[in-house]
């Protein structure tokens, strides 16, 4: 990919950068689009899950005999239906997974580790029978003490979730088990020396709560396994190939036996990158030889799918009076949930990444607690660590009397900066977003009483990864695109636009679809802000290959050599000759049969060279000092997109990320009682923002092209959830002259701080 010499940064673009309607739009607004729960088959059974009522308990026995005798019950599965795996860590995009843990999370084995942990599953002829059968399963538990918070879990006398878990990454290696799965450290230089050179050192502890992605569509799937072991699976997922691989490993299928088709997706945000119901439905279908459909309800989504970590963090930053940062240090303790794998690695890597530092250290701990196992959530780990750092930056700006954007500009990372996690950064847009923020009318607009303005920046890596897509030129001159990364943010439109730009045919003639796992080579999932970057790269490559083939066919028809044909505006054109000669794509396609057969091309590669995306947000808040209620008055999100293929969808990502960040900052939190039961298992008391909670989010797209993508794309989906947490906390701190260091900034918490300090 890096040999792709023809870049488009300077070229006049016709389609890329415009705002056409999305190809999937009509089906979405008319309700015709099929989501995870919308598929049905004849003779289908209903699958239901029996879940743990305890936060931590030994499973002594499971007796399913009574449930099996109930008329209408066709299959029951427990952990005996799944093979065990040795502990082995394998990378999965932005997270690391361990099959030993995954099989236990999908179906509890020795112990249940959180309320909602799956203990058994049933397939029955209808919902009522399935519910009755669940009540007939007799599980004997020995209840164990549980632990929910990292500061309790890391104590030496804490209840152990896994009695064989030894902390990785500490010297000397521990000899006894603990709930601390691993320690990570990134950085360079000498932070103590840096602090000694500082005129001002600010250090502070922060707390964030566990939050859920809050996708509106619950997990759902339909599995059908035939008598000869061929499996079909329809599900709502960010990665059908990843689902196939998880399920085939968990259930002993080979990859070719399971064909996974991704439905339309009603939000994922990282939460639909792992499997919950899918292996259960497949196992139940295999056992009953009938299709099995499973859906979570909202309470199951909250208790049994993967939110992101709550955390305790400590940040210390030293500066000179002129704003020069001399050292940055932080310790991050992230909840992993019941199994290790908190996103504390990426959290530590990006904590100080917006800045060009000489002395920097970030230490992270991955700590298991009796909560559901965390899954990815939009820039996993980033919002938490950067919230702490960006809050301290703001406090420093106030203390040294410097504008918070100027302070950031003074220390901004730029091309050539060594990132705290190691590599030398290519071109990035930190300075450009800060300057755009400073120039924006919002930044100098007057404020009303009890109002204040907050600013924060955010850094996210973005990824590439294994990607495969294909293009077909149809006989009537239309074009098919088969993509392997589910469309969770308008990517079908972006892919069709890039193909349209390359081919020179109208976007309306290009039909992009998401293929199933048998239609393409492996695709890593849609995540890590990689789809437009990675799949876009393969689409441009395969389109260029198709153009080469079209030129070849034209050369054949004209009986000239290939070098006499160029491709211009959807036509082959004869370069030399007495009179200008052109042939349209449709004319070539129509004659494909006599020039060598159908025209198609595909591109499969491990895409590298993703460009980090920087963002800076400005927020005005108003604080009701008698009630502690915080209102968001004005919000502007500024971000480097590299290149916005479809600016409206980039703006949508910026707005969506900002709104999720607003929810995280203001009201979202998992609330547990003393038994370890989640008390807010619905959207009434798990408060994601409603429309009237947020103003129209203004956006500014900055474009510092990523040299590793044919159009300069970076990936934009994750960065925008990072700045809101600190931006809002900084604004509330400035409005009240109190430094807030705990999320969410819910009315009771804000008022308590105002009353008691």
Partner 1 sequence: MDYVAPKTAMEASEALVQDGAFALAGGTDLLVKLKTKFISPNIVVDIKQVPKITSIEESMDGWWIGAATPCAEIVEHESLCQDWPGVVEALSLIGSTQIQGRATLGGNLCNASPAADSVPALIAANGTCVISGQTGEREEPIENIVISPGATVLAKGEFILGFKLPKPPSGSGDAYLRLIPRSEMDIAVVGVGTSVSVDKNKKITSIRISLGAIAPTQVILDGLEDIFIGKEPDEDSINKLVSLAESACRPIKDKRGTIEYRTKIAGVLAKRTLNIAYERATNH
**Smallest separation (angstroms) from partner 1 to the CB of 517:** 35
Q: Which is nearer to partner 1, 538 or 667 (CB)?
A: 667
**Smallest separation (angstroms) from partner 1 to the CB of 128:** 10
Choosing from 228, 580, 755, 757, the residue that interacts with partner 1 (CB under 8 A) is 755
Instruction: Quote the crossing angle between the two packed helices 382-400 and 723-736, to the nearest 10°.
Output: 30
Nearest-angstrom CA–CA distance, 630 and 395: 20
Choosing from 687, 707, 738, 742, the residue that interacts with partner 1 (CB under 8 A) is 687
**Smallest separation (angstroms) from partner 1 to the CB of 219:** 19
Residue ranges with strand state E in 425-577: 451-460, 465-473, 479-483, 510-514, 565-568, 571-574
Q: Judged by CB under 8 A, which stretch of 58-66, 235-243, 342-350, 682-690 contacts partner 1?
A: 682-690
Q: Which is nearer to partner 1, 370 or 746 (CB)?
A: 746
**Smallest separation (angstroms) from partner 1 to the CB of 328:** 34
Q: Which is nearer to partner 1, 426 or 695 (CB)?
A: 695
Residue 243, C-beta contacts closer than 8 angstroms, at least 6 positions apart: 233, 235, 237, 260, 275, 278
Q: Which is nearer to partner 1, 417 or 667 (CB)?
A: 667
**Smallest separation (angstroms) from partner 1 to the CB of 40:** 20
**Smallest separation (angstroms) from partner 1 to the CB of 359:** 41
Q: Which is nearer to partner 1, 215 or 460 (CB)?
A: 215
**Smallest separation (angstroms) from partner 1 to the CB of 693:** 5
Cα four-point dihedral sign 193, 194, 197, 198: negative
SS3 473: strand
| Other Cβ atoms closer than 10 A to 647 | 17
The reply on whether position 751 binds partner 1 by CB under 8 A is yes
Binding residues among 641-680 for partner 1 as defined by CB under 8 A: 666-667, 671, 679-680
Host H or E run for residue 640: strand 629-640
Choosing from 609, 629, 695, 742, the residue that interacts with partner 1 (CB under 8 A) is 629
Q: Which is nearer to partner 1, 186 or 664 (CB)?
A: 664
Chain-centre distance of CA 191, in angstroms? Answer: 32
Choosing from 25, 506, 707, 747, the residue that interacts with partner 1 (CB under 8 A) is 747
Q: Which is nearer to partner 1, 470 or 746 (CB)?
A: 746
Sheet containing 451-460, strands listed edge to edge, beginning at the edge strand earlier in sequence: 451-460, 613-624, 629-640, 698-702
SS3 220: strand
Nearest-angstrom CA–CA distance, 612 and 149: 32
Q: Judged by CB under 8 A, which stretch of 468-476, 523-531, 579-587, 746-754 contacts partner 1?
A: 746-754
Q: Which of 353, 347, 266 is nearest to 301 (CA)?
A: 266
Site string for partner 1, 587-626 (x = CB under 8 A): ---------------------------------------x
The reply on whether position 156 binds partner 1 by CB under 8 A is no
Choosing from 12, 173, 684, 696, the residue that interacts with partner 1 (CB under 8 A) is 684
Host H or E run for residue 634: strand 629-640
Q: Which is nearer to partner 1, 480 or 747 (CB)?
A: 747
Q: Judged by CB under 8 A, which stretch of 26-34, 322-330, 686-694, 714-722 contacts partner 1?
A: 686-694
**Smallest separation (angstroms) from partner 1 to the CB of 697:** 16
**Smallest separation (angstroms) from partner 1 to the CB of 134:** 12
What is the residue whose two structure tokens read 């990859």? Answer: 255
Q: Which is nearer to partner 1, 400 or 751 (CB)?
A: 751
**Smallest separation (angstroms) from partner 1 to the CB of 679:** 5
Cβ–Cβ < 8 Å for 374, 346: no
Size of the site for partner 1 (CB under 8 A): 23
Cβ–Cβ < 8 Å for 426, 704: no
> Largest alpha-carbon pair distance within the chain?
91
Q: Which is nearer to partner 1, 495 or 745 (CB)?
A: 745
Host H or E run for residue 224: strand 220-225
Nearest-angstrom CA–CA distance, 41 and 279: 18
Q: Judged by CB under 8 A, which stretch of 269-277, 309-317, 438-446, 743-751 contacts partner 1?
A: 743-751
Cβ–Cβ < 8 Å for 457, 434: yes
Q: Rounded to 5 degrees, what angle do the CA atoms 52, 57, 61 make?
A: 80
The reply on whether position 451 binds partner 1 by CB under 8 A is no
| Other Cβ atoms closer than 10 A to 627 | 12
**Smallest separation (angstroms) from partner 1 to the CB of 747:** 6
Q: Which is nearer to partner 1, 132 or 535 (CB)?
A: 132
Choosing from 21, 69, 627, 675, the residue that interacts with partner 1 (CB under 8 A) is 627
| Other Cβ atoms closer than 10 A to 209 | 18
Instruction: Quote the crossing angle between the two packed helices 723-736 and 647-666, to the nearest 10°.
Output: 50
**Smallest separation (angstroms) from partner 1 to the CB of 744:** 9
Q: Tell me the DSSP string of 307-376.
A: -B--EEEEEEEEE-TTS-EEEEEEEEEEEEESSS--THHHHHHHTTTTB--SSEEEEEEEEE-SSPPP--
Written as six digits, the tokens of 184 are 């990570």
**Smallest separation (angstroms) from partner 1 to the CB of 691:** 9
Binding residues among 689-728 for partner 1 as defined by CB under 8 A: 689-690, 692-693
What is the contact surface with partner 1 in residues (CB under 8 A)? 626-629, 631, 666-667, 671, 679-680, 684-685, 687, 689-690, 692-693, 746-748, 751-752, 755
């Amino acid at each position: 990919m890096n040999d792709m010499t023809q870049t488009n940064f300077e070229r006049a673009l016709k389609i890329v950068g415009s705002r056409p309607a999305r190809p999937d739009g009509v089906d979405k607004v008319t309700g015709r689009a099929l989501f995870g729960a919308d598929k049905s088959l004849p003779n289908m059974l209903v699958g239901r899950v029996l879940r743990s009522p305890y936060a931590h308990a030994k499973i002594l026995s499971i007796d399913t005999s009574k449930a099996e005798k109930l008329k209408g019950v066709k299959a029951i599965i427990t952990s005996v239906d799944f093979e065990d795996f040795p502990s082995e860590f394998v990378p999965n995009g932005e997270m690391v997974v361990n099959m030993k843990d995954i099989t236990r999370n999908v179906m509890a084995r020795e112990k249940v580790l959180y309320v909602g942990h799956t203990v058994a599953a049933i397939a029955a002829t209808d919902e009522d029978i399935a519910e009755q059968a669940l009540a007939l399963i007799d599980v004997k538990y020995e209840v164990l003490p549980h632990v929910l918070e990292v500061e309790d879990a890391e104590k030496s006398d804490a209840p152990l979730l896994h009695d064989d878990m030894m902390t990785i990454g500490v010297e000397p290696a521990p000899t006894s088990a603990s709930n601390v799965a691993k320690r990570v450290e990134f950085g360079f230089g000498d932070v103590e020396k840096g602090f000694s050179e500082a005129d001002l050192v600010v250090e502070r502890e922060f707390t964030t709560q566990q939050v859920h992605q809050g996708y509106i569509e619950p997990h759902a799937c339909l599995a059908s396994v035939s008598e000869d072991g061929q499996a079909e699976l329809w599900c709502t997922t960010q990665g059908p190939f990843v689902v196939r691989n998880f399920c085939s490993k968990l259930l002993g299928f080979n990859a070719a036996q399971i064909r996974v088709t991704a439905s339309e997706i009603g939000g994922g945000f990282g939460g639909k990158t792992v499997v919950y119901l899918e292996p259960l439905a497949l196992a139940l279908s295999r056992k009953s030889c009938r299709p099995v459909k499973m859906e979570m309800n909202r309470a199951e989504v909250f208790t049994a799918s993967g939110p992101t970590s709550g955390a305790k963090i400590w940040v210390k930053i030293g500066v000179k009076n002129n704003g020069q940062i001399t050292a940055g240090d932080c310790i991050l303790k992230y909840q992993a949930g019941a199994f290790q794998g908190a996103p504390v690695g990426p959290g530590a890597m990006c904590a100080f990444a917006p800045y060009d530092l000489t002395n920097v250290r970030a230490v992270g701990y991955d700590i298991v607690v009796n909560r559901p196992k965390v899954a990815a959530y939009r820039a996993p780990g980033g919002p938490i660590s950067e919230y702490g750092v960006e809050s301290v930056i703001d406090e420093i700006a106030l203390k040294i009397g410097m504008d918070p954007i100027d302070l950031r500009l003074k220390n901004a990372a730029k091309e050539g900066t060594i990132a705290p996690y190691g590599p030398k950064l290519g071109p990035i847009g930190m300075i450009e977003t800060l300057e755009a923020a400073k120039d924006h009318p919002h930044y100098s607009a007057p404020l009303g009483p009890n109002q204040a303005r907050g600013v924060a920046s955010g850094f996210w890596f973005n990824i590439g990864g294994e990607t495969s897509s294909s293009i077909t030129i149809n006989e009537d001159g239309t074009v098919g695109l088969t993509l392997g990364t589910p469309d969770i943010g308008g990517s079908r439109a972006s892919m069709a636009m890039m193909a349209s730009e390359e081919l020179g045919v109208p976007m309306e003639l290009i039909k992009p679809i998401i293929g199933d796992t048998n239609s393409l080579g492996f695709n890593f999932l849609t995540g890590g802000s990689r789809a437009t970057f990675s799949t876009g790269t393969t689409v441009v490559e395969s389109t260029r290959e198709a153009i080469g083939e079209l030129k070849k066919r034209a050369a054949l028809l004209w009986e000239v050599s290939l070098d006499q044909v160029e491709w211009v505006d959807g036509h082959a054109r004869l370069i030399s000759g007495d009179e200008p000669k052109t042939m349209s794509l449709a004319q070539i396609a129509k004659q494909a049969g006599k020039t060598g057969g159908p025209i198609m091309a595909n591109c499969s590669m491990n895409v590298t060279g993703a460009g980090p995306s920087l963002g800076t947000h400005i927020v005005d808040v108003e604080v009701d000092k008698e009630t502690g209620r915080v209102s968001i008055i004005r919000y502007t999100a500024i971000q480097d997109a590299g290149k916005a293929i479809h600016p409206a969808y980039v703006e949508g990502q910026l707005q969506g990320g900002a709104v999720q960040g607003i929810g995280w900052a203001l009201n979202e939190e998992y609330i547990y009682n003393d038994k370890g039961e989640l008390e807010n298992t619905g959207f009434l008391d798990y408060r994601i923002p409603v429309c009237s909670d947020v103003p129209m989010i203004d956006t500014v797209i900055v474009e510092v092209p990523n040299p590793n993508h044919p159009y300069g794309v970076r990936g934009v989906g994750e960065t925008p959830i990072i700045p809101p947490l600190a931006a809002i906390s900084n604004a509330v701190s400035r409005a009240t002259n109190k430094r807030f260091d705990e999320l969410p900034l819910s009315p009771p918490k804000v008022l308590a701080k105002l009353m008691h300090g």
